[in-house]
């Protein structure tokens, strides 16, 4: 699930600019449609609906507007959370896609000598896992090392 942030961002701008209940409903509908177009999971759509819901007060426009503003804040906060999760996933994919760049030679001004770099050899996939783990752990503290025990799945 990757979000086309441009179209979602445009819908979010409409939501931020919403001044009354009608414009809030239009902006929320536009945001929902953009989320559907990008193929977001239904749990995110349900989350949007829950946060966008407010009960209008037919006797007080002021109360209705206050409730709408609260709902708008909830929706904006929720969408920022979703976008942040998406950016973390995109960052991880970029790291994995560009991991081969680790082997490129740097310019001559580095303090590490060429002989020292040549001593670092990637001999098998476990070496790659070790390097990736060392790189990802500071970015994603919940990263786990490979599980060595039996997971219950057999292989042929």
Distance between CA atoms of residues 51 and 54, nearest Å: 8
**Could you give the C-alpha distances from 79 to 12, 137, 148, in angstroms and in order?**
8, 26, 38
CB 38, CB 8: distance < 8 Å: yes
- pLDDT confidence tier of residue 27, bands split at 50, 70 and 90: very high
**Which residues are within 8 A (CB) of 11 and not within 5 positions of it... i.e. 6 or more apart?**
27, 30, 31, 33, 34
Q: Domain coordinates of the chain in residue numbers?
A: 5-97, 105-136
Per-residue model confidence as pLDDT tens digits over 90-147: 777 787 787 777 666 666 676 666 677 677 777 888 888 888 888 777 777 777 766 6
pLDDT at 4: 46
pLDDT at 146: 63
Angle at CA 23, nearest 5°, toward 16 and 72? 40
- pLDDT confidence tier of residue 12, bands split at 50, 70 and 90: confident
pLDDT at 23: 92
Per-residue model confidence as pLDDT tens digits over 51-79: 999 999 899 999 999 999 999 999 999 98
Distance between CA atoms of residues 67 and 55, nearest Å: 7
- pLDDT confidence tier of residue 47, bands split at 50, 70 and 90: very high
Neighbouring CB atoms inside 10 A of 14's CB total 17
CB 116, CB 56: distance < 8 Å: no
pTM for the whole structure:
0.55
What mean pLDDT comes out for the span 84-90? 71
Tokens of 22: 């009608």
- pLDDT confidence tier of residue 9, bands split at 50, 70 and 90: confident
């Amino acid at each position: 699930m990757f979000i086309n942030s441009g179209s979602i961002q445009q819908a979010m701008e409409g939501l931020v600019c919403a001044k009354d209940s009608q414009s809030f409903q239009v902006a929320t509908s536009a945001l929902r449609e953009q989320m559907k177009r990008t193929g977001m999971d239904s749990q995110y759509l349900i989350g949007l609906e829950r946060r966008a819901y407010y009960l209008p007060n037919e006797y007080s426009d002021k109360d209705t507007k206050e409730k709408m503003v609260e709902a708008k804040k909830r929706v904006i906060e929720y969408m920022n959370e979703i976008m942040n999760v998406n950016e973390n996933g995109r960052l991880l994919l970029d790291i994995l896609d560009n991991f081969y760049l680790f082997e490129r030679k740097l310019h001559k001004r580095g303090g590490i000598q060429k002989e020292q770099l040549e001593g670092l050899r990637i001999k098998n996939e476990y070496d790659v896992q070790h390097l990736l783990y060392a790189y990802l752990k500071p970015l994603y503290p919940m990263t786990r090392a490979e599980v060595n025990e039996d997971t219950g799945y057999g292989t042929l």
